[in-house]
Amino acid sequence: MGLITGKDLLEAGWSEGPALKNLLESAKALESKGITDPAYIIKLLERDFAKEDPTLRMREKALPFSEAIEANSKLEEKNLGSVRKFMGELMRCPVVESGAIMPDSCPAGFAEATIPVGGAIETRNAILPAAHSADICCSMYASVFECNESTKGMMDALVESTRFGYGGRKDEDRVDHPVLHESVWSNRYLKGLEEYAAKHIADQGDGNHFAYLGKIRVTRDLVDALTEAGHDATARALRDRAGSRIDDASGVEFFTLVTHHGSRGLGAHLYKRGHKAAIKETSRIAKGIPKAAAWLDVTTDEGSDYWDALQYVSRWTKANHTSIHERFLARAEGELVTGFGNEHNFVWRRESDDGSSVFAHGKGATPAWRDEASIPLLGLIPLNMAEPILLTLGSNNSDFLSFAPHGAGRNQSRTATLREFRKANGDSDEATIAKAIADATRGLDIRWYYGKGDLTESPIGYKSAAQVRAQIEHFELANIIGEVTPLGCLMAGDSGPKPWMKKDLLTPKQKRQIEHRADRRKQKQSYHRWEGNDDEDV
């Protein structure tokens, strides 16, 4: 075999076709003359053989996208204007066919064509890694259970069962799971990531990830709704455990643990690899595509492998949820009734009306369609730690790509929220912040893994829960069939500076690099800058 292969030529920018044969013959001729440097051979070929100009480019005009959101204040109008700008940029991507934004929409960054939180798109045979974001498979999972412990006792057990923050579990504290032993590590996107998979089991991260303890009221109407929709196993488990109590007018209450997290370091590294590959592949076949709109063709080996890697990460993330729930139930001596959950940062393969595959991307968007058996998907939509988590059935509203919101979203960034609680000298008003959090969560057992509350993850940091719920109903995004009402919540809280930002641990070179990056950020101009990101916590 020669030094240069057809794959090398394709990666260098030439297109498939008869010309490849001539290029390979010319490469062999150069090799026969004693030229053994592949890079130099490619350079000589570029001198003698022109490359076809890529035909794929961003559309001149953005395709329209649907909006399941209404702005009711100047702040909301400003937020929606930014969402429209970034979504409009993304809708110019040549492989994007349709799009929608949800009631929780807000910008997820300021790079061109960055999909907003609460954004959804559909493509044909293409996956945009940036459209599912670095927090791959960020998702919800609920365990309904019975327990004789007090709320405090259950919250104590919860603190012992999970972990928040940077890094991962230490060797002596790791949790084993069969998902870690699957034969997936030869996949090009997963090679060498076994350590991240192992250290992050029963580990939730930080930011908006949480473990929420509440109660669900099981009534005859709820069970009937689940049965009619086709969720027979869940309905049966609730009905059997409730017994005759279900016939009471008020039904029967069960405790419920709901966790929210993604795929941690495993998913973050998969995303980096997939996005890098997408940028490289897109630059070969297209021109002028923003990095956030780069894609992988799922009909190629690279795209197919990425799809397979995503499926593994989905299994891993569910295993992570269930590991936390099992550890909690063992410590609290609770008895499981049933469990269910859903993803909201992911890519789903769906069959279109013509029988071809459509890839639905959601960035903070809850699937609300009917599955292959025509069963409406069961979903969990949290609003904030002091509000109920909504139990929904998908309404399959194709006007909005059959998605619903994944939460309440924000009208401004975390930094902007904190700015409102500063003293005249610019310092944070810690006493006022602590009181505001306490007032917003009164009567609940709120725990912060790092001890210090995070104002931006309290109800103060989010949109109106009532308004988001009203818009779910107004736009018929999902059918709300039940609620998990809050008792307590555990989140990471304010952990202080990131470990790699602590000045006493940095070398002089690292300090200079941080200062340089800070200066560059200040110089960047954008339509509307968001210093925080609603669902990028990995």
> Helix, strand or coil for residue 282?
helix
- Count of positions (residues) in the chain: 538
DSSP 427: -
pLDDT higher than threshold 60 for residue 341: yes
- Dump pLDDT digits (tens) for 146-168: 999 999 999 999 999 999 998 99
Q: What are phi and psi of 319, to 5 degrees?
A: -60, -35
Q: What percent of the chain has pLDDT over 90?
A: 80
Task: Please give the pLDDT value at position 529.
Answer: 37
Q: What percent of the chain has pLDDT over 70?
A: 91
Task: Indicate whether 294 pLDDT > 60.
Answer: yes
- The confidence score (pLDDT) of residue 266 equals 98
Distance CA 97, CA 420 (A): 40
| CATH number for domain 139-499, candidates 3.20.20.70, 3.30.420.10, 1.10.3720.10, 3.90.1860.10 | 3.90.1860.10
Stretch 299-316: mean pLDDT, rounded?
97
pLDDT value, residue 530: 38
**Average pLDDT over every residue of 368-377:** 95
Quote the pLDDT of residue 498.
63
Question: Where are the strands (E) in 11-79, listed by range?
Answer: 56-57, 66-67
527 versus 380: which is more confidently predicted?
A: 380
What is the chain's mean pLDDT, rounded?
Answer: 91
The string of pLDDT tens digits covering residues 455-496 is: 999 999 999 999 999 999 999 999 999 999 999 999 999 877
- Tens-place pLDDT, residues 418-443: 999 999 888 899 999 999 999 999 99
Residue whose C-alpha is closest to residue 463's, from 415, 413, 410: 410
pLDDT tens, position by position, 40-63 = 999 999 888 887 666 789 999 999
Task: Please tell me the distance from the alpha carbon of residue 83 to that of residue 115, in angstroms, as a whole number.
Answer: 8
Q: Between 516 and 408, whose confidence is greater?
A: 408
- The predicted-structure confidence for 74-105, as pLDDT tens digits, reads as follows 999 999 999 999 999 999 999 999 999 999 99
Per-residue three-class SS string for 143-188:
EEEECCCCHHHHHHHHHHHCCCCCCCCCHHHCCCCHHHHCCCCCCC
In angstroms, the CA 303 to CA 468 distance is 36
Section 346-351 average pLDDT: 94
- Domain-by-domain residue ranges, the chain? 6-52, 139-499
Asked if pLDDT for residue 120 goes beyond 70, the answer is yes
CA distances from 236 to 184, 220, 229, 326, 393 (A): 35, 12, 13, 21, 17
pLDDT tens per residue across span 236-266: 999 999 998 898 888 999 999 999 999 999 9
Strands 445-448 and 478-491: parallel
398 in Cβ contact with 350 (< 8 Å): no
pLDDT in tens, 493-521: 987 776 545 555 566 666 666 666 655 55
Instruction: Decide if pLDDT at 524 tops 50.
Output: no
Section 295-323 average pLDDT:
97
Sequence-ordered list of residues with C-beta below 8 angstroms from that of 381, at least 6 positions apart, any chain: 366, 389, 390, 392, 404, 405, 406, 407, 472, 478
pLDDT in tens, 7-41: 888 888 787 777 888 899 999 999 999 899 999 99
| Confidence (pTM) | 0.85
